[in-house]
Amino acid sequence: MISRHRPILERDRLDLPNSIQISEIGFDIDGVVADTMEAFIRLARDEFGIEDLKKEQMTSYWLEECLSIPADTVMAIIERLLTDPFGVGLEPIPGAREVLTRFAAYGRLTFVTARPIEKPIEAWLKSLLSDVPSVDIEVIATGCHSAKAGVLKELGLRYFIDDHLETCQELCSRGIGAIVFDQPWNRGPTPFLRIKAWRELQAIILNSAEHRLK
């Protein structure tokens, strides 16, 4: 397992082509498709009375390192997010629904998450992408970040978009192209391609004549 404190080095970089086919890329869910931290903030306020918590305060992926919230409270909120995405009112990152629906016209959508259980978030994704046939949506829960690279290799995926820098580092070390979805907890210099919105990813993936949408 990669240490969360190992620096991300320039030699870890894997340059990306001008265009990527849908069949070549996988997607993380939390922090990329699902606005999980917005739901965390809302639950902290409404159920635990924690006011004035903002997303920009989440400067570490490991929330106990950056928030003055008891660890048991953090875990209680995360448990709700993992087991009941509908009940907590989990919302998508802006643009995710629209862009993923367009991507689905060009191939199957594959999501690989470090969540320990698959069914709740799979149901949420299929509801979010209701215009996409269920058979064209694959969701794999690995249970830990370090298992993602092996799963992606097994699936034959060459690229992956994630908000977790240590995962991106591991992917690059295994020859998988990493794309970072910009979030407060992954800011700072990195060798990886960074996107700030789903429209940017759409421009990369649908950049070739074969995949361009008129």
| pLDDT tens, residue by residue, 105-132 | 999 999 999 999 999 999 999 999 999 9
Quote the pLDDT of residue 53. Answer: 92
Instruction: Please tell me whether residues 42 and 139 are part of one structural domain.
Output: no
Comparison of pLDDT for 56 and 211, the residue scoring more: 56
Q: Is residue 110 part of a domain?
A: yes
Q: How much is the pLDDT for 18?
A: 58
- In a domain? residue 139: yes
Q: Are 102 and 173 in a shared domain? A: yes
- In three-state secondary structure terms, 194 is strand
The mean pLDDT value of the chain amounts to 88
112 and 183 together in one domain: yes
| Statement to judge: residues 131 and 46 lie in one domain | no
Confidence of residue 65 (pLDDT cuts 50, 70, 90): confident
Do 132 and 172 sit in the same domain of this protein?
Answer: yes
The verdict on residue 5 lying in a domain is: no
Asked if residue 138 lies in contact with residue 132, where contact means CB atoms within 8 angstroms, the answer is no
pTM: 0.88
pLDDT of residue 16: 53
The band of 207, judged by pLDDT with boundaries at 50, 70 and 90, is: low
Residues 46 and 97 in one domain: no
Residue range 72-99: mean pLDDT, rounded: 96
pLDDT in tens, 19-50: 678 989 999 999 999 999 999 999 999 999 99
Residues 108 and 190 in one domain: yes
- Residue 62 is assigned to a structural domain of this protein: yes
- Asked whether residue 214 is assigned to any structural domain, the reply reads no
- % residues pLDDT > 70 (the chain): 87
CA 166 to each of CA 1, 25, 58, 129, 173: distance values in angstroms, whole numbers, following the listed order: 10, 18, 16, 28, 11
Percent of the chain with pLDDT over 90: 74
Which residue range is the domain that position 48 belongs to?
A: 36-83
Alpha carbons 122 and 41: distance in angstroms, whole number = 22
Task: CATH number of the domain at 170, please.
Answer: 3.40.50.1000
What distance in Å separates the CA atoms of residue 27 and residue 179, rounded to the nearest whole number? 10
Residues 136 and 190 in one domain: yes
Tokens standing for residue 155: 């699936």
Helix (H) or strand (E) holding 140: strand 137-141
Q: b vs e for 148-172, b when ≥16 Cβ sit within 10 Å of the residue's Cβ?
A: bbebbeeeebbbbbbbbbbbbbbbb
> Considering the domain boundaries, does residue 43 fall inside one?
yes
Q: What is the count of structural domains for the chain?
A: 2
172 part of a folded domain: yes
Is 90 exceeded by the pLDDT of residue 188? Answer: no
Q: What is the pLDDT of residue 205?
A: 83
Question: Which of these, 42, 39, 49, lies nearest to 70 by C-alpha position?
Answer: 49
Q: Are residues 27 and 50 in the same domain?
A: no
**Residues 76 and 107 grouped into a single domain:** no
